[in-house]
Amino acid sequence: MKVAVRTALKVVSSIALIVFIAELLVMVLLMRLDTLPPLTNALIDASLLSLIIAPALYFRVYLPLMLEIRSRQQIETELHRALAEQQSLNSKLTQARHQLIEAEKLVSMGQIAAGVAHEINNPIGFIGSNLGTLKSYAEDLLQLLDTYESCHSELQQHTALYNNIIAARTKADIDYLKTDITSLIDESVDGITRVRQIVKDLKDFSRADDGVREQVDLNNELDRTLNIVHNQLKYHTTLVKNLQPLPLVDCVPAQINQVFLNILVNAGQAIEKEGIITLESQSADDEMCISISDSGCGMNEEQKLRLFEPFYTTKPRDKGTGLGLSVSWGIINKHGGRIEVESLLGIGTTFRIYLPINPPS
């Protein structure tokens, strides 16, 4: 509609300008004639009148209309720009709100995990204690059994009793029982020790992030995180570790463990059936590197470019929120480090986490 109005105004103004120029030329020609034809004076008067009216119409009608149209065009452009900015801000606010919700969920899960770990720790304590006592009792019983068996020659004089004892001994398979009972108790004690370590690591991992820096060994922190995610990896992945001795690094352990957890979980999920996860560490000059590689599905170039965008994920909705790597990038960046990624579609992915040994305060 506006385009049609502008076009019509331009046409009218062009016609008026042409008429104006034609009348001006006619008047000039008439004035140069020695003898004026009839009605010339009236024609000259009409031309003079039109010469006066045409500029007046141009400056009082057309020009104000054109200025008004341009002003409204500028206002409309500004409104579109403001609307686009508002939509962009609304989108960012929505993302921030989702991120806060996910962060609150993670905090809640951390608190729940810490509470569950504390509750599990109590029964683990008395189970371990009871197993220790049971092992002592079993050793006493086995010693008593050895004492009875030392009376073997005396019992042979009582044929019926001796035969009953031999039959009962054979049925119970005492020789196997004597070796197996100790082994069973030792395995149970070892299992409880492992569970206790997992609970301890879980409590340490889920402890409140107070942002306090500590001097830690990243190899130990990586092993601690592996204990947390072991159940997600053990059924379909083989872990290969090549960890070199590292100097202590000044960092916030809870945050670095979160980075390890996010990348390890991603590595496990990238492997659909069976694969290998390789962990390497090394230090050089003033920085150290933790490398986590998987033989999973890999990524294409577009996915690599968007890898650290908040809420970007290629996983199903129930397996990822798209926040893990974004959060990890922010943590490492805050520690003065960087994350480098190499990936080939169908081959696998390698994350290299670089941290300065002595980061700036």
- Give the span between the Cα atoms of 217 and 288, in whole angstroms: 11
Encode pLDDT of 125-146 as tens digits: 778 788 888 888 888 787 877 7
Asked if residue 306 lies in contact with residue 295, where contact means CB atoms within 8 angstroms, the answer is: no
Beta-bridged to residue 243, according to DSSP, are 281
Question: What's the mean pLDDT when you consider all of the chain?
Answer: 75
Give me 49's structure tokens.
């009148």
- Give the span between the Cα atoms of 252 and 356, in whole angstroms: 13
Q: At 282, which helix (H) or strand (E)?
A: strand 275-284
Mean pLDDT across 338-356: 91
Beta-bridged to residue 279, according to DSSP, are 241, 292
Contact partners, residue 324, CB within 8 Å, separation at least 6: 262, 265, 266
Encode pLDDT of 248-278 as tens digits: 988 888 888 888 988 998 888 888 888 999 9
Beta-bridged to residue 277, according to DSSP, are 239, 294
Look at residue 256 and give its three-state secondary structure: helix
Residue with token string 């003065």: 336
- Give the span between the Cα atoms of 263 and 314, in whole angstroms: 15
- Give the span between the Cα atoms of 306 and 312, in whole angstroms: 7
Range in 160-164, 194-198, 312-316 with the lowest mean pLDDT: 312-316
Encode pLDDT of 200-219 as tens digits: 766 666 555 566 788 889 99
Nearest one of 175, 189, 69, 173 to 128, comparing CA atoms = 189
Nearest one of 284, 211, 271 to 237, comparing CA atoms = 271
Asked if residue 294 lies in contact with residue 348, where contact means CB atoms within 8 angstroms, the answer is: yes
Nearest one of 324, 311, 216, 345 to 265, comparing CA atoms = 324
Q: Is the pLDDT of residue 36 over 50?
A: no
Phi, psi dihedrals of residue 12, rounded to the nearest 5°: -60, -45
pLDDT of 291:
94
